Amino acid sequence: MAKLALNGGSMAAADLEIPRWPQCTEQSRENVLDALESERWCRVTDGANWVDRFEAEFAEYHDAEHAIAVSNGTTAIELSLRACGLKPGDEVLVPAYTFIATASAVACMGGVPRFVDVDPETYNMDPESVRENITDRTVGLVGVHFAGYPMDMDELTAIADEHGLFLIEDSAHAQGSEWRGQKVGTFGEFGTFSFQQSKSLPAGEGGIVVTDDELLAEEARQVHNIGRAVGEPGYKHYMLSSNYRLSEFQGALLSAQLEKLPEENERRRRNEKVLISALSDIDGISTKPEDDRITARGYCIFNFRYDEEAFGGVSRDRFIEALNAEGVPARTGYELPLYKQPAFSREQLSALVPPGTDLPVYRHMHLPGVEEVRRTNVTLSHNVLLAGEDGVRTIARAVDKIHEHADELRD
């Protein structure tokens, strides 16, 4: 092969044409225009129906009894925690390698996040670490289906049942993923989803919770509508709560976006299979393991692990720099584990929990699975998997080219 693009050579992935994201379809335009011209822009306005329609469609897609649309994925977690009865000072187990909202939602509700390790092969919560971190103050866990790759729901539901814990599935990455033929987000008390612009089901912002529990659904609807009881009009409020409602514009847009999600996920699945096969022949690159219990995949990002020793000691960051130069838009992912985030200092948390609450000293933590992932992770956005098959193959060719010319990258 020619020399690396970083050093003046031609780009190995010059033909990688990545579809724009998000995509505004004609149906999206029609739906949003209908909401606009209806002049019923708030979901509680008489005659408004787009959010109601989307909730019904999303619940049906997940074979769930209830879906409640909210303003974003973070508030979806907050609403779920409150409906599950989280009280100030309660401990909730969360993975230490994920977006901050999974844990900050717990803290902002007055709870104490207790960080657990992740399996470096799947990036998901390590069930053994979950068991090790349960205390007499633990009331639940919020797990993440990282990158759309489902958590081990066999293990986690068993742990939750054994210890009487609530289970919330943060499914922000996993629109369409399945475990043993069942959509993720439907195993625990609640499943939460995000519709932020980068997600595979986007509306700029927005979120939703799903549940099969009638009482939890009623509580969640009351919480999401400033404490109003379901079906009661006017200004009678039964609890102190915030406004988590989704707008009619976003409901209209999401209804159109949901229509195309299954076909897009199938294209991503096919291209992921091609990419994994091509990468499997390159020493030093590890993709996530196949698991027959995962019967369908949703996607947010595609991850693989990089072994710098197999690349002659070239650092992961230098590898990504070279990969970008070859035309592949790779990134490192989350730079910090949550226990290193300044937002989780004891000074910050002590203002949110009851006086005298025992708080972990997060800055002293070192979880080996998390540290391995943050050191080795390489990330591609889900829309890369919507490129043509030939384009996807150029990603592996770029990685192989860097492997062959790794000596050009050494300091």
DSSP string, 46-69: TT--HHHHHHHHHHHHTT-SEEEE
Query: Rounded to an integer, what distance in angstroms lies between the CA atom of residue 307 and that of residue 348?
Result: 36
Q: Are 351 and 236 in contact (CB under 8 A)?
A: no
Out of 145, 166, 196, 304, pick the active-site residue.
196
Query: Rounded to an integer, what distance in angstroms lies between the CA atom of residue 67 and that of residue 177?
Result: 17
Does the annotation count 52 as an active-site position? Answer: no
- Long-range contacts from 333-336, C-beta under 8 angstroms, 24+ separation: 333/301, 333/303, 333/373, 333/374, 333/377, 333/378, 333/379, 334/97, 334/98, 334/99, 334/374, 334/377, 335/374, 336/374
Out of 20, 46, 136, 235, pick the active-site residue.
235
Protein fold of 26-258: Aspartate Aminotransferase; domain 2 (3.40.640)
Out of 199, 288, 393, 397, pick the active-site residue.
199
Cis peptide before 22 (omega within 30 of 0): yes
Out of 66, 82, 114, 173, pick the active-site residue.
173
Does the annotation count 145 as an active-site position? Answer: no
Does the annotation count 173 as an active-site position? Answer: yes
Out of 224, 228, 268, 318, pick the active-site residue.
228
The radius of gyration of the chain's CA atoms, rounded to the nearest angstrom, is 22
Does the annotation count 306 as an active-site position? Answer: no
Distance of CA 131 to the CA centre of its chain: 23
pLDDT per residue of the chain (411 residues) written in tens, 0 to 9:
579 999 999 999 999 999 999 999 999 999 999 999 999 999 999 998 999 999 999 999 999 999 999 999 999 999 999 999 999 999 999 999 999 999 999 999 999 999 999 999 999 999 999 999 999 999 999 999 999 999 999 999 999 999 999 999 999 999 999 999 999 999 999 999 999 999 999 999 999 999 999 999 999 999 999 999 877 778 999 999 999 999 999 999 999 999 999 999 999 999 999 999 999 999 999 999 999 999 999 999 999 999 999 999 999 999 999 999 999 999 999 999 999 999 999 999 999 999 999 999 998 999 999 999 999 999 999 999 999 999 999 999 999 999 999 999 975
Does the annotation count 29 as an active-site position? Answer: no
Out of 245, 382, 401, 405, pick the active-site residue.
245
* Cβ-proximal residues to 134 (8 Å cutoff; 6+ apart), any chain: 93, 159, 163, 165
- Judged by DSSP in three states, 409 sits in helix
Out of 170, 224, 244, 339, pick the active-site residue.
170
For tokens 């103050």, what's the residue? Answer: 137
Q: Are 142 and 171 in contact (CB under 8 A)?
A: no
For 387-408, b/e burial (b = at least 16 CB within 10 A) is beeebbbbbbbbbbbbbebbee
Query: Rounded to an integer, what distance in angstroms lies between the CA atom of residue 151 and that of residue 179?
Result: 8
Does the annotation count 245 as an active-site position? Answer: yes
pLDDT at 92: 98
Does the annotation count 228 as an active-site position? Answer: yes
Query: Rounded to an integer, what distance in angstroms lies between the CA atom of residue 226 and that of residue 241?
Result: 5
Does the annotation count 273 as an active-site position? Answer: no
Handedness of CA 353, 356, 362, 365 (dihedral sign): negative
Burial of 343 (0-12, 13-18, 19+ CB in 10 A): exposed
Half-sphere exposure for 51 (CA within 13 Å, toward CB): 23
Query: Rounded to an integer, what distance in angstroms lies between the CA atom of residue 140 and that of residue 136?
Result: 11
pLDDT at 411: 57
Q: What is the DSSP string of 60-94?
A: HHTT-SEEEEES-HHHHHHHHHHHTT--TT-EEEE
Two tokens, residue 366: 């070192």
Identity (one letter) of the amino acid at 148?
G
Identity (one letter) of the amino acid at 54?
F
The CA angle 150-192-49, to the nearest 5 degrees, is: 130
Number of residues that this document lists for the chain: 411
pLDDT at 134: 98
* Selection from 234, 240, 288, 297 nearest residue 264 by Cα: 297
